[in-house]
Amino acid sequence: MASVACIGECMVELRQAQGGQSGGQGGGLYSRGFGGDTLNTAVYLARLEVKVDYFTALGDDALSDEMIAAWTAEGVGTRRVARLPGKLPGLYMIQLDAKGERQFFHWRDSAAARQLMNLPETDDLLNSLMSYDIIYLSAITLSIYDAAGRERLFAAIKRARLLGTRFVFDTNFRARGWPDRDVAREVFSAAFAAADIVLTSTEDLLALYPGESHEQLMARIPTPELVFRLAEPVSLLRFPGGPYEVRAEPMTKPVVDTTAAGDSFAAAYIAARLAGSDPVESAQAGHRLASLVICYSGAIIPGYAMPPKKRHRPATTRQATK
């Protein structure tokens, strides 16, 4: 059975509850959950019947225990989770506007996950990457490690790729996670050079390279397989046999919350590729799941709302103009 190693951070999530008041002395009512971009992808991969392990570090507190239990219940493997005595997971709060767009506030500087590349067990964790079919991580993952930690991780990925493991890099970019954009650009270039598949978007790349055209942005990424999501629900694909353009099917329900749209797209794309689908079919699967996820509140939709297993439709595509 094909397997995926997802590397990243899961945090405690505070979300304004329905009926809560924002502002004022009371500050409103908030519900508590858990979330993180690569963790969201791991959950959707598990729901799509892909064997997946999550690589991170947590504390030895009750909240970390709850996370482990929740991931296990979803089918996400936790044997690669380091537990650090006296540490805690990070915390973030979500505010949504009337259109469902979100704004995040983070408290994570001392979170356990930031130490994953500097532990006694780090070498064993990194050496285990060679046993997976795919390694998946995001730019957010890379932003929580220091330069030495990123170098250690990239070296392990390169060793795994020599044995046939594929590296999928998602450019999920959050400026607040980086000391400056020059550092981010340098790290992105290293990730692009190492990756087999890059999943990116205009939202991510224009924040790093403002004013560039789609063609210029795509030219920065040398990887043989590239999925470039536009602001509209369209993906431009580059792969041997491409390029292609894949359009999402029209929405039939209102958008409620765009959280995890990209995370769920990544999961469906990876699952389809592992199942033998080509990039065009895989991108269409990604659009289908993302279009469903944004119709629900929160990053992880109810299990009953997931699409039927092994659902296939002809992809709506046309060859992109060069």
What pLDDT was estimated at residue 113?
A: 97
Q: Is 263 a catalytic residue?
A: yes
What pLDDT was estimated at residue 161?
A: 98
23 lies in some domain: no
* Amino acid, single-letter form, for residue 44: Y
* Range(s) of the domain holding residue 227: 3-16+31-319
26 lies in some domain: no
Q: What angle do CA 233, 201, 223 make, to 5 degrees?
A: 120
Residues 6+ apart with CB under 8 A from 247: 233, 234, 287, 316, 317
221 lies in some domain: yes
Residues 6+ apart with CB under 8 A from 198: 168, 169, 170, 171, 191, 192, 221, 223, 225, 226, 227
94: left (phi over 0), alpha (psi -120 to 50) or beta: beta
230 lies in some domain: yes
Residues 6+ apart with CB under 8 A from 236: 214, 218, 227, 228, 230, 243, 244, 245, 320
36 lies in some domain: yes
Give dist(CA 183, CA 90) in Å, integer. Answer: 23
* Element at 35 (helix H, strand E): strand 30-35
Per-residue pLDDT of the chain (322 residues; tens, 9 = 90+): 679 999 999 999 887 766 544 444 445 788 888 889 999 999 999 999 999 999 999 999 999 999 999 999 999 999 999 999 999 999 988 776 666 566 778 888 889 999 999 999 999 999 999 999 999 999 999 999 999 999 999 999 999 999 999 999 999 999 999 999 999 999 999 999 999 999 999 999 999 999 999 999 999 999 999 999 999 889 999 999 889 999 998 888 898 878 889 999 999 999 999 999 999 999 999 999 999 999 988 788 999 989 887 544 444 443 443 3
What pLDDT was estimated at residue 319?
A: 44
Cβ count near 104 (within 10 Å): 14
The CATH number covering residue 237 comes to 3.40.1190.20
Q: What is the pTM of this model?
A: 0.90
Give dist(CA 206, CA 175) in Å, integer. Answer: 12
What pLDDT was estimated at residue 298?
A: 79
24 lies in some domain: no
User: How is residue 73 written in tokens?
Assistant: 């219940």
Give dist(CA 161, CA 130) in Å, integer. Answer: 8
What pLDDT was estimated at residue 162?
A: 97
Give dist(CA 73, CA 76) in Å, integer. Answer: 8
21 lies in some domain: no
22 lies in some domain: no
Total domain count for the chain? Answer: 1
Residue range 52-105, pLDDT digits in tens: 999 999 999 999 999 999 999 999 999 999 999 999 999 988 776 666 566 778
Selected catalytic residue, list 123, 182, 263, 278: 263
Tokens 């408290």, located at residue:
107
Cβ count near 207 (within 10 Å): 15
